[in-house]
Amino acid sequence: MVNKYYMYVLLCGDNSLYGGFTNNLQQRLLKHQSGKGAKYTRSHLPVKMIYYESFENKGDALKAEYAFKHQPRNQKIKYLLNNGVNGKLFR
């Protein structure tokens, strides 16, 4: 069985964006939504997963997460729009 790794993006209650990494999207989203996820998302509830990308390699997923997190907001939005996320989410 091949493990999958994911870089994902959450839209937070204050309209901020949070990028993360996991090997189980459903479980990680439930952690974030229950307030038991990352420190950042605990104080920015509710959260909604708006994007994810899968990787065969853990290192590649971590690199994608790092790259996303170190972009200014306008570049993050541009990346998401270029990857099929509905632009109405950012209005």
What pLDDT digit, counting tens, does each position of 35-77 carry? 998 999 999 999 999 999 999 999 999 999 999 999 999 999 9
> Can you give the pTM of this predicted structure?
0.93
Residues spanned by the domain of 30? 5-90
- How many domains does the structure of the chain reveal? 1
By percentage, how much of the chain surpasses pLDDT 90?
A: 90
Does an H or E element contain 33, and which?
helix 25-33
Pick from 66, 9, 18: which is nearest to 38 by CA? 18
- CB of 73 closer than 8 Å to CB of 32: no
By percentage, how much of the chain surpasses pLDDT 70?
A: 98
CATH of the domain at 12: 3.40.1440.10
Residue 40: per-residue pLDDT? 94
Q: State in Å, rounded, how far the first CA of the chain is from the last one.
A: 41
When pLDDT is cut at 50, 70 and 90, the band that residue 89 belongs to is confident
What pLDDT digit, counting tens, does each position of 48-57 carry? 999 999 999 9
